[in-house]
Amino acid sequence: MAKEIRLDKYLGEMGQGTRSQIKEMARKGRIYVDGQPEKKPERKIDPAHNQVELDGRIIAYAEYEYYILNKPQGVVSATEDSRYETVVGLILDRKRDDLFPVGRLDIDTEGLLLITNDGDLAHQLLSPKKHVDKVYFARVEGELPSDAKERMKEGLELSDGTITLPADLEILNQGQNGALSEIRLTIREGKFHQVKRMFEVLGCSVVYLKRLSMGSLTLDETLKPGQYRPLTEEEILRLKSHGKERKAEDVG
């Protein structure tokens, strides 16, 4: 049986106004359902079968939305901010007004960010118990110690005493004579400023950071910083099945 919802809830979730505003729209005859004016905002409708129009525009309904964003520097991973532009604000053609970023990237960090309103999926990807791989590319200043890979693999003690989970470090280019090193790091948690703090323990500093992947979702390299696209059905299914697999592992 299809899930029915109130007309005012339908329009509210699609960002068309508050409940009182939608009630006034209905009173003025601005809302149509299946081609007929609808004065009762409390009416139950089936989003899969009823067509809703506001001021002559069809308002399509989406229960969940999923976007992959190549986050640029200078934008904050938040739904709203009084000082900076937000990652959610970059999704210009979103239908829903309850989208949020799954996890956070620092304001000066670039790369993959999932934007959605699917709370269950976000929990599966962010829960420390799930150990979802997050892969980063970084340029690092300072000489990496010879045992950097081993220390990352064992887990590091951060400056506040926090012990990180084992991480995999791949040195792509070992900087010589003061040149920057380029690395790829895979972590399975997301503590505050974690990647930067891990390299500080090694006596280095991260000068550029970009997230390449999260679980099964990989950054679309055709997306320039600030650009985004909806996830494909295949990408959504892979993310959800990854969460289920982790859940089964936890039970086992």
* Active-site residue list: 106
List, in sequence order, every residue forming a beta bridge with 213; answer none if it has no partner.
135, 218
Closest CA to 126 of 198, 188, 192: 188
User: Do 52 and 7 touch, CB atoms closer than 8 A?
Assistant: yes
Contact 57, 14 (CB under 8 A): no
Long-range contact pairs involving 48-57 (C-beta distance under 8 Å, separation at least 24) = 48/2, 49/2, 52/7, 52/10, 52/11, 54/11, 54/16, 54/25, 54/30, 55/30
Alpha helices in 107-192 (DSSP H): 119-126, 148-154
Spatial separation of the C-alpha atoms in residues 165 and 136, rounded to whole Å: 15
| Cβ atoms 217, 112 nearer than 8 A | yes
CA distance 53 to 232: 27
